[in-house]
Amino acid sequence: MGRKARIKKERRASTSPRVGTANAMLTRELAEEGLRVVSTPAGTKKISEALLDLVMPVLEILQPDTKEHFEVVVSMGFVAWNAELMGEAGADFREQATRDLAKAGFLGSVARNLFELLVDRRRTVFANDRRLIASFKVVELPSGEFRVAAAALEDDLGNAGLGGHDGVAP
């Protein structure tokens, strides 16, 4: 089975108990901060699934083999996703994040290009999704697979979501 087929199969797999635990932790942590996380509306992709879809091209290019590297890629997606919702402040947010990512040894000089790929992808593929990603966690399974749990907050349009989509990359 090729890598892309395996990734698709893993994405369809049922949610692992570890991801469910990570979702519960995210919800609890955000509630303690006074933030309200609600379930994903029917017919809407889980925010964790959308985040993974956003970063999928970068995951396929880099094929991160450690949890730390996988988290760097998901963090780039997190920043690209939220920066688009921040208007003018998002440009400063993106610039600071790009400088920080360039310092990461894993990405080095390609950080800016990969980040811009994600920003462009966010603008085109997910332009109508107004959910703000509040937090995410990456869980590594004993098999070496990575899973992502993410939580979104309600925005001014009433959109919100909590997702525990199974991640990818062995």
State mean pLDDT over 133-143: 91
State mean pLDDT over 31-48: 73
pLDDT at 31: 64
pLDDT at 164: 43
pLDDT at 156: 44
Q: How does the average pLDDT of the chain come out, rounded? A: 76
Per-residue pLDDT of 58-93, as tens digits, reads 999 989 989 998 998 999 999 999 988 887 777 777
Per-residue pLDDT of 3-17, as tens digits, reads 665 555 455 443 455
Give the Cα separation of 90 and 84 in Å (integer): 6
pLDDT at 169: 38
Phi-psi label, residue 114: left if phi above 0, alpha if psi -120 to 50, beta otherwise: alpha
Question: Burial of 149 by CB count in 10 Å (0-12 exposed, 13-18 middle, 19+ buried)?
Answer: buried
Residue 109 in this model has a pLDDT that exceeds 60:
yes
